[in-house]
A and B are shown apart, each in its own frame.
Chain A
Amino acid sequence: MTVAQEPSALQFECETGNYHTFCPISCVAWLYQKIEDSFFLVIGTKTCGYFLQNAMGVMIFAEPRYAMAELEEGDISAQLNDYEELKRLCLQIKRDRNPSVIVWIGTCTTEIIKMDLEGLAPKLEAELGIPIVTARANGLDYAFTQGEDTVLASMVHKCPEGVKQEEEKEERNAIQKLMAFGRKKEDVKAEQAEYATHPPLVLFGSLPDPVVTNLTLELKKQGIQVSGWLPSKRYTELPVIQEGYYVAGVNPFLSRTATTFMRRRKCKLIGAPFPIGPDGTRAWIEKICSVFNIEPKGLAEREAQIWESLEDYVKLIRGKSVFFMGDNLLEISLARFLIRCGMSCPEIGIPYMDKRYQAAELALLEKTCQEMGVPLPTIVEKPDNYNQIQRIYELKPDLVITGMAHANPLEARGINTKWSVEFTFAQIHGFTNARDILELATRPLRRNNNLKDLGWEKLVKESAKV
């Protein structure tokens, strides 16, 4: 491996924050699907509602378990009583849907008019007999996936502290129950013996159920037992959290949740790279093992085997360059994986960079660059899309990972793009799903390879500027 001549540490910059991303309330779209007995009530304006309806497209037609509490002029000027209004709507929700939890999503408007959702919730909760979780997922403070972070951080408070009886514990532990399904008690006990002795581990981050099972089993192979996930499939199955438990994140945008676990519930955070890509997955497992003093088994072979199976995709992107405009906070992990695939990456845009929570991921990124002999990327926090587009024109990257606002215009100018939001909804975690990431990342290149002899790259008449 050649050592790069470039600066030996990552460069961090911060621009103007004039960039395009989704509003964090979009998290309801995947969280209501994940938490099956929940109902999400977004307390905001027509602007919020129109965003959900348009950005989340057809999902809305499937009678979703979310709705807008649309604020009217009377609500803004406090002619109407917030408490009474919310009570009326929540009663209706209770009657129509009977959820196990109502999640209130605070928005920019509730922030500005200082509606005290956190204060109202416990009172209404007592009156209605339904737990109410409040999350301030607003565009004043957060970007896109950080919405999930605010919801999960609020849910940490709702996780039970202890269990009186073993039964109840089993009741709560969905994964364990799932894996013990249809087996005798003795078998379950025998299975317990397959695990090493280690303090309870709870994982956090919302992932599709197949991915949850996949990562859980991956840890099981190392003798590590997952005591619970936040969020679980149902609100009623939230994991038990006690002082001294270990927690590990599966996604890079969950820094508030991590902080809440540490500060409010006295848990120990395992700071690891995220299980995205075979390299990330291996590092994630290794870090968890090392914390529990377990010698990881067979990981190197497993990783090598995955890389081998990826070769057909990897050869399409090896030696090419990728530019992240930044909008969902997955950027560092994805860039690290793509660099390991042999790409170079001049710039990683990212809405918000928590250097503590992502420390291990950043270290792995640095190491990966050195091992692959590519220059360290510049990490641009709160990017400025206009400036980025000028840089894209200069650098001419082979692939730009960007939001939909810029994707078509860049394609029309002969620049390959991948829509970044797809990475949020696709299954990208663990060894098994590495192929899906590359399926996404190489799609524009494969498509444009098919069209390359047609002379149709640039489809706009050149006017000097953007």
Chain B
Amino acid sequence: MKLAYWMYAGPAHIGTLRIASSFKNVHAIMHAPLGDDYFNVMRSMLERERNFTPVTASVVDRNVLARGSQEKVVENIVRKDQEENPDLIVLTPTCTSSILQEDLQNFVERAQMDAQGDVMLADVNHYRFNELQAADRTLGQIVQYYIEKARKKGDLPESKTEKPSVNIIGVTTLGFHNQHDCTELKRLMKDLGIEVNEVFPEGASVNNLKNLPRAWFNLVPYREIGLTAARYLEQEFAMPYIDITPMGVVETARCIRKIQQIINAQGADVDYEEFINEQTLYVSQAAWFSRSIDCQNLTGKKAVVFGDNTHAAALTKVLAREMGIHVVLAGTYCKYDADWFREQVSEYCDEILISDDNAEIGNAIARLEPSAIFGTQMERHVGKRLDIPCGVIAAPIHIQNFPIGYKPFCGYEGTNQIADLVYNSFTLGMEDHLLEIFGGHDTKEVITKSVSANSDLNWNKEAQGELNKIPGFVRGKVKRNTEKFARERGMNEITLEVMYAAKEAVGA
């Protein structure tokens, strides 16, 4: 037993459900007790989904414990097949069914006899895999199922597409900014003159999976989900895959160069160097940002990074390599894939933390006292407690991390978004610091109702000049505090002396 308040990755069935409900017209039936269908709530709330989440539970109750659930599961599958005519029904085991050890595969076979659509059992064990591993496995399983089905029917396409083309693998529902990343990646492919053959699982139809081998190569933008499918396709069709996450300027360029190499090897003859150059120097603002004075001020500032493998590794590299920020600690909760993480970030940070214990991460942050944290919602709350700003870069996430506006993390627009996120986190910290120096937050009594404090007090030339030197975002506050100080003492002219006295008084 483990005492736990918080968990970073969800249980296995969440991963399977994320894959199933990403596809179009795929229905998942959970073999679970009442109340385990909160996945529907998460999807409906976080993603503000307009459609009913295609997940139902075949409820395990006392009767099921007594009699076994075969009849019920089979009935529920067949019923769902008739009601909604899904292409595929994925029977999803949960922690409960893992212990009951019923022969779910047998139920699937029974149900398949009566169902029009396909029926499949997700091969995930609750006690062995977490959400991300299960998602990766389920995606691989579905791809394999439909490739084999097509092969049996002789439906597999013979040839590649005429022009270079790609499958983008691993875009899922409830994935961190996945929808925006997907749009950005499609745009990038278009700019590179590469056709997008299939994007899956998000929005894809299982009936199109047989077309996967037509692509020249596969792109797996996220480390956690899609590699199993990509490796399967490599093994079956010798399709090369790219697992470089195009996140940050340098990594995006690396990803594009790899694409160039792979498609040239298949006879494409492209040269993307000019494109990379043009994007890096003039289109993306991130390279220019890192050169600008703003970013200069961030030099050597301490940051802690924590998240899933993909985002924590990418952000660590962006911070250290592209912005000159001192990453004192980089960590991941993907313990099962820790070696990869170590290899990715070891040269970019002082310390590596592999843990899924929130308290351990919180303690590390408290010990290191960074100027900013880049982590999950949990680190954001650690930051709140310790008064350290936090930019959220990975799941677990809340509804505010499903923005309506366009906010990719991948590709060249992604680099802009990341720069904003990083810069805003640090300036917020700076602002806080300045506020403290100049006299605190709005807890002080306000002297005028209006924000601009138009007053009868006269600021002399020197004082006005000094006031103007104060950064804009705290100027009003300093002005108000000084005026309040002066008013309380019956002064009607504000001089430099008064300003300093005010600052001292407020500080005292």
Contacts and interface: CB of A to CB of B under 8 A. Distances in A.
Contact of B37 (A49, A67, A144, A405): A405
A85 interface: yes
A404 B130 CA distance: 25
A409 B33 contact: no
B218 interface: no
Contacts of B13: 47
B50 A140 contact: no
A61 interface: yes
Interface in A396-419: 403-409, 412
The residue in B5, B13, B49, B60 that gathers the most chain A C-beta atoms within 10 A of its C-beta is B5
B76 interface: yes
Given A18-B57, A409-B50, A61 B4 contact: no
B1 A86 contact: yes
A140 B100 CA distance: 13
B99 A50 contact: no
Nearest to B131: A50
Contacts of A460: 50-51
Contact of A47 (B84, B95, B128): B95
Interface string B40-77: 11101100111111001111111001000000000010
A5 interface: no
Given A47-B11, A54-B38, A18 B76 contact: yes
Given A23-B36, A139-B34, A144-B35, A61 B94 contact: no
Contact of B4 (A20, A68, A140): A68
Contacts of B49: 408-409
Given A23-B34, A76-B99, A46 B11 contact: yes
A420 B51 CA distance: 19
B95 A46 contact: yes
Contacts of B57: 18
A297 B33 CA distance: 48
Interface residues of A, number: 65
A406 to B, nearest CB: 7
Interface string B1-19: 1111111001101100000
Interface string A129-141: 0000000001111
Contacts of A189: none
Contacts of A138: 33
B76 A404 contact: no
Interface string A38-72: 00000101110111011101001100101111111
A366 interface: no
Given A109-B99, A138-B33, A466 B52 contact: yes
The residue in B41, B45, B59, B398 that gathers the most chain A C-beta atoms within 10 A of its C-beta is B41
A405 B127 contact: no
A232 interface: no
A50 B2 contact: no
Contacts of A21: 34-35
A79 to B, nearest CB: 12
A45 B126 contact: yes
B274 interface: no
A139 B7 contact: no
Contacts of A17: 34, 59, 61
Contacts of B4: 49, 67-68, 70
A73 B35 CA distance: 22
A80 B96 CA distance: 19
Nearest to B47: A408
B6 A53 contact: yes
Nearest to B130: A46
A423 to B, nearest CB: 16
B33 A108 contact: yes
A72 B11 CA distance: 12
Nearest to A46: B11
Interface string B87-119: 000000011100110000000000000000000
Given A45-B95, A92-B3, A18 B59 contact: yes
Contact of B10 (A50, A86, A88, A407): A50
B38 A23 contact: yes
A144 B34 CA distance: 9
Given A109-B99, A112-B96, A403-B41, A50 B33 contact: no
Contact of B127 (A24, A76, A408): A76
Contact of B38 (A22, A386, A409): A22
The residue in A22, A144, A460 that gathers the most chain B C-beta atoms within 10 A of its C-beta is A22
Nearest to B95: A45
A355 interface: no
A345 interface: no
Contacts of A60: 5-6
B3 A141 contact: no
Contacts of A184: none
B484 interface: no
A89 interface: yes
Interface string B250-279: 000000000000000000000000000000
A173 B381 CA distance: 38
Interface string A327-350: 000000000000000000000000
B83 interface: yes
B7 A50 contact: yes
B312 to A, nearest CB: 20
A108 B60 contact: yes
A75 interface: yes
A46 B6 contact: no
Contact of B99 (A112, A143, A408, A466): A112
Given A50-B10, A408-B49, A140 B60 contact: yes
A47 B94 contact: yes
30 contacts: A17-B59, A18-B57, A20-B37, A21-B34, A25-B35, A45-B11, A46-B7, A47-B96, A50-B14, A54-B41, A64-B5, A68-B4, A72-B2, A73-B128, A85-B1, A88-B1, A89-B1, A108-B95, A108-B96, A111-B65, A140-B61, A404-B45, A405-B40, A406-B52, A408-B44, A408-B48, A408-B50, A409-B49, A460-B50, A466-B52
Given A61-B384, A459-B50, 15 more contacts: A22-B35, A45-B95, A51-B38, A54-B38, A68-B5, A72-B127, A73-B127, A85-B1, A89-B3, A112-B65, A140-B34, A389-B52, A405-B52, A406-B44, A409-B44
3 A-B pairs with the lowest CB-CB distances in the bound complex, closest first? A23-B35, A139-B33, A405-B40
